[in-house]
Amino acid sequence: MNLQDFFSETPRLAIAFSGGTDSAYLLYAALQYGADVQAYYIRSAFQPQFEQDDALRLAGELGAKLRILPVDVLSCAAVASNPPDRCYHCKRLMLQTILHAAAADGYSVLADGTNASDAASARPGMRALAELSVRSPLRECGLTKAEIRRLSQAAGLFTWDKPAYACLATRISSGEALTTEKLRRTEDAERALSSAGLTGFRVRLFAGAARLQVPAAQLPLVLEQREALVRTLKKYYPAVLLDLEVREP
């Protein structure tokens, strides 16, 4: 099956839309193949503002219908306590919110942007997809991340080379309670470092300090700008650590 076949069989659907490369291409393909599609973006403490900005921009460029749904993820104890399976509980909460809104809008099928490169064992949220019968057309049609990027570039989507982005909660170690303050501090710190020219990095919370993790190629820039980066991060954290186990981009 290819995407044209999928949308021929499923001409009316809702899409869980993150503003990332995969869901962006899925939304584009749905419109290209004439589907009646409604996109839903979840706004929560886990998503930085730029993700919502990208979602709004892409939907606007495609002329797609988009609803933004606020979700208080920290009101769910199974999420806020940050257990090892937090991702499952969070994903289920967000998908249930979208399913409820989609049903009210007259859409009975929900799809997401999971692709054929996503290993189920590494994504606890896939359990929630299965339990709630959410379709993953890109995965079902065998489209890998590399193929989706190639197709997105050919389609002129600005998201074609957008780096993969894990939610802000992943910066805080499992077992440490999540709070709005910790998440906002993480977002502010990462935004500041992005403005300084760093890419592909993470600012992780470690015993109250900032643990900066960067790709190997970024290490020379970090050392060159060390003093400025320390000053920047000390606006948000009492101490700054550099992780020499570099981050794979």
Q: Which of 10, 33, 38 is nearest to 23 (CA)?
A: 38
Mean pLDDT value across the chain = 95
pLDDT of the residue at 120: 64
Residues 152-205 have pLDDT tens digits of: 999 999 999 998 888 999 999 999 999 999 999 999 999 999 998 898 899 999
Q: Which residue has the higher pLDDT, 122 or 79?
A: 79
Average pLDDT, integer, range 79-89:
96
Q: Is the pLDDT of residue 121 over 60?
A: no
Half-sphere exposure of 209 (CA within 13 A, CB side): 10
pTM for this entry: 0.92
Q: Which residue has the higher pLDDT, 109 or 165?
A: 109
Angstrom distance (rounded) from CA 139 to CA 130: 13
CATH class of 3-161: alpha beta
Angstrom distance (rounded) from CA 144 to CA 162: 15
Q: Is the pLDDT of residue 249 over 70?
A: no
Angstrom distance (rounded) from CA 185 to CA 12: 40
Torsion of CA 77, 71, 135, 164, to 10 degrees: -90
Name the residue ranges covered by the structural domains of the chain: 3-161, 179-242
Share of the chain above pLDDT 90, in %: 90
pLDDT of the residue at 247: 81
Provide the token pair at 195. Answer: 């403005």
